[in-house]
Homo-oligomer: A and B are copies of this chain.
Amino acid sequence: MKITALEEYGLRCMVLLARQRDDDPLTLPEFATREGFSIPYAGKLLMILKRSGLVKAVRGRKGGYVLAQSPEEITLKEIFEVLGKPVFSAGYCGRYAREHEVCIHSGDCTVKNIWQTFDEFIESYLEQVTLADLASGDISPLEENGLKLQQKA
């Protein structure tokens, strides 16, 4: 299981923006310097975020990027949907079919089912954490964070 580079760095850009004043946009060189990648790469990331509507670009001399909504209104789920694909997505059956016309999935689609359930599980977490939670810096263990995992009797 892997977090892609786009997800990692894209999320960091969002955190930087969440800590910024609304009327003070962050520029591409600033993103690049503060996270250690090139300016064009920062451009690529912010372009993705902008197209999705999560951030707005301010053009001109005093321009840069600002969040489109307040950090409290943005969940990790929304950010992740923009930066990458979920564990289970529409193309799954085709992606692993290879030379076969349809997937051959160990006889039946049992593996598909586990990813689908797993994905639901993950998203139930992501949709409960906001960008404000992240920016404030105290993501706590599950139990202290409003989430609890229970074993049914």
Give A contacts to B, CB under 8 Å.
1-4, 7-9, 11-12, 15-16, 19, 34-37, 76, 80, 84-87, 96-100, 104-108, 110-111, 113-115, 117-118, 120-122, 124-125, 128-129, 134-135, 137-143, 145-152
Tell whether, in the assembled complex, residue A80 and residue B1 are in contact, meaning their CB atoms are under 8 Å apart.
yes
Known: A1-B3, A110-B137, A114-B134. A105 touches B142 (CB 8 A): no
B141–A1 contact, CB under 8 A?
no
Contact A98 B37, beta carbon cutoff 8 Å: yes
Distance, CA A113 to CA B137, complexed state (A): 8
A-B contact pairs, 27 of them (CB 8 A): A1-B1, A1-B85, A1-B122, A2-B4, A2-B87, A3-B87, A3-B115, A8-B96, A8-B111, A9-B96, A11-B114, A12-B106, A12-B111, A16-B106, A36-B97, A36-B104, A110-B134, A110-B137, A113-B139, A114-B139, A117-B145, A120-B141, A121-B122, A121-B125, A121-B142, A146-B151, A147-B152
Q: Are A87 and B12 in contact (CB under 8 A)?
A: no
State how many angstroms separate the Cβ of A110 from the closest Cβ of chain B. Answer: 5
Partner of A111, one of B4, B15, B100, B121: B15
Task: State whether A34 touches B106 (Cβ < 8 A).
Answer: yes
Q: How near does chain B come to A136, taking the closest CB pair, in angstroms?
A: 8
